[in-house]
């Protein structure tokens, strides 16, 4: 069959394309141009290593070596609307966003699926460490963790629908990272030893507060830092400088460590407390997506992950109507942060997930 492969220029998507070609499929490589490659800020590149001009060249080089066509599609407008604008709004409103979820699921899959249809391709393959299978007994698709637990990216894909899963392939999901690199070496790919990118591509210096201020100059900046009883302990330059669980950068001298336990953007207050105050057993999630298509009946036992680099924890999740759910953990979880995602698992299966609204 004809397969569109989303090629970022890294080793994972390159090997995904190679495996599809080796399996006899007709491969078409597509790379997303997400931003103006000439853009600079203070004399430095405005964007980081992910999806850079070098990455686009690497993807084209791999496609040429493997003998299939490769095209670059301009997604600058979609990227700004779907990822960057949301990132700025969330930080300015005292939440901690995850741009990679919007980029991977909301942008990459939904938009590339449309482009694939225009190329008479039935599926989109990516280099994600995840798996999708069709359950014949239940008549639906299942989204599974990647085999490599250290590289598993199923957390970023919780928004995928049954229709999107029906048109998705993850060719490296059954491999470990070392195995992927071995495939790249076997094929003589130039990206075999290329390092992974871990930064937010549009905030290459890691200074999210400065980025937000540049793109939302109207955002309020000054406010109070208070304790849980409302006593003022100091001042801050804007809630977008903080995230729940943060300890450094508070500018307070109290004699004992304090952490950000809550952000109150309407009042422009940063609430701090001791480490014990960070823990919470409950949260409310909104815009919940259930991989099966419909929410489970009644209370469901799952393991839930509140951040990508966080271990699953036993919990009970209950759909509360619409696209909301209530999650109760067996044990308190540290630094549950509004704006982050909570993803539900049943063993290897992704049950669903949503955006943390409150705790």
Provide the annotated active-site residues: 103, 201
Residue pair 252/297 in contact (Cβ under 8 Å)? The answer is: no
Give, for 341, the enclosing helix (H) or strand (E).
strand 341-346
- Please check whether residue 205 is in contact with residue 180, taking contact to mean a CB–CB distance below 8 angstroms: no
Coil, strand or helix at 262: strand
Q: CA 160 to CA 292: how far, in whole Å?
A: 10
- Site of tokens 């990679």: 100
What does the CA dihedral 52, 53, 58, 61 come to, rounded to 10 degrees?
Answer: 160
The Cβ of residue 11 has, within 10 Å, a number of other Cβ atoms equal to: 26
Give the list of residues 6+ apart from residue 197 with CB closer than 8 angstroms, or none. 10, 48, 49, 50
Task: Answer whether 270's CB lies under 8 Å from 260's CB.
Answer: yes
Q: Is residue 35 left, alpha or beta, with left meaning phi > 0 and alpha meaning psi from -120 to 50?
A: beta
What's the rounded Cα separation, in Å, for the pair 232 and 267?
A: 13
What is the Cα–Cα distance from 249 to 237, expressed in whole angstroms? 11
Q: In whole angstroms, what is the distance from residue 249 CA to residue 186 CA?
A: 47
Provide the 8-state DSSP code for 126. Answer: -
Could you write out the DSSP letters of every residue in 199-243? Answer: S-TT-TT--HHHHHHHH-TTS---EEEE-TT--EEEEES-GGG--
């Amino acid at each position: 069959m004809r397969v569109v492969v989303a090629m970022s220029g890294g080793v994972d998507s390159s090997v995904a394309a190679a495996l599809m070609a080796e399996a006899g499929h007709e491969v078409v490589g597509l790379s997303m141009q997400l931003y103006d490659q000439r853009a600079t800020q203070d004399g430095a590149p405005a964007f980081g290593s992910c999806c850079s001009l070098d990455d686009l060249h690497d993807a084209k080089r791999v496609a040429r070596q493997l003998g299939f066509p490769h095209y670059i599609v301009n997604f600058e407008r979609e990227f700004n609307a779907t990822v960057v604008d949301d990132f700025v709004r969330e930080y300015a409103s005292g939440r901690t966003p995850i741009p990679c979820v919007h980029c991977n699921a909301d942008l990459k899959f939904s938009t590339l699926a449309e482009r694939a249809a225009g190329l008479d391709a039935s599926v989109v393959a990516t280099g994600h460490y995840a798996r999708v299978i069709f359950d014949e007994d239940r008549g639906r698709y299942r989204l599974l963790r990647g085999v490599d637990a250290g590289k598993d990216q199923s957390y970023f894909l919780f928004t995928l629908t049954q229709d999107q899963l029906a048109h998705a392939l993850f060719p490296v999901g059954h491999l470990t990272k070392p195995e992927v690199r071995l495939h790249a070496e076997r094929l003589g790919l130039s990206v075999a030893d290329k390092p992974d990118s871990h930064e937010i591509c549009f905030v290459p210096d890691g200074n999210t507060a400065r980025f937000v201020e540049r793109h939302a100059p109207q955002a309020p900046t000054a406010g109070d830092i208070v304790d849980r009883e409302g006593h003022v302990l100091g001042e801050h330059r804007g809630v977008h400088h903080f995230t729940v669980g943060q300890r450094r950068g508070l500018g307070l001298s109290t004699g004992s460590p304090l952490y950000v336990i809550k952000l109150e953007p309407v009042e422009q207050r940063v609430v701090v407390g001791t480490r014990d105050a960070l823990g919470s057993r409950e949260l409310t999630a909104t815009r919940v997506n259930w991989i099966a298509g419909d929410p489970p009946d009644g209370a469901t036992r799952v393991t839930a992950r509140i951040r990508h680099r966080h271990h699953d924890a036993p919990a009970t999740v209950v759909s509360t109507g619409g696209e909301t759910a209530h999650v109760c953990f067996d044990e308190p979880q540290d630094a549950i942060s509004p704006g982050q995602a909570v993803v539900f698992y049943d063993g290897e299966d992704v049950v669903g997930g949503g955006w943390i609204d409150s705790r």
